[in-house]
Structure formats: structure tokens, C-alpha cells
Amino acid sequence: MAVPKRKMSRSNTRHRRSQWKATLANTVVCVNPACRQKHLQHTACPACGQYGPKADRRQVLDA
């Protein structure tokens, strides 16, 4: 197993860790013309329940 030969400075450690940025999740606009809210990709819209561009794929979200 590899072992570091020297202690890594705080500056180098923090500079390396600063690249661990989290990315925002991609959102899309709902295809329902009456809704048009943003939601996560590949999920049903939480506002209207529509999943895709075809109206027959409308889902019921009431539980």
C-alpha cells in the first residue's frame, strides 16, 4: 500500500478538496402546457403528475 513520504500542507490539502464541488441536479420544464413547472429528469412532475409528452402517461400522485 502506498504511504506518503511527506506531510501534505493545509494549503495543498484544501486546494485539492476545493475541487470536490457538488453539482446541481438537472431539471426540466414540465411538458404540460397548463403546468410548466421545473422538476427532476425522468420523474413525474410533482405539481400535475405528468411524466412525458403523451397525456396517456399521466400518473396519480395522491397517496
What pLDDT, in 10s, does the model give residues 30-54? 988 889 999 999 888 899 888 888 7
Question: What integer is the mean pLDDT of 15-39?
Answer: 87
Give the confidence band of 60 by pLDDT, cuts at 50, 70, 90: low
Question: What integer is the mean pLDDT of 56-61?
Answer: 58
Cβ distance 19 to 12 under 8 Å? Answer: no
Give the pLDDT score at 10: 95
Asked if residue 8 belongs to a domain, the reply is no
Asked if residue 44 belongs to a domain, the reply is yes
**CB-hemisphere CA count at 13 Å for 59?**
12
Q: How many domains does the chain have?
A: 1
pLDDT for residue 12 is more than 60: yes
Domain that holds residue 46: 25-63
CA distance 3 to 63: 54
CA distance 24 to 1: 35
pLDDT for residue 6 is more than 90: yes
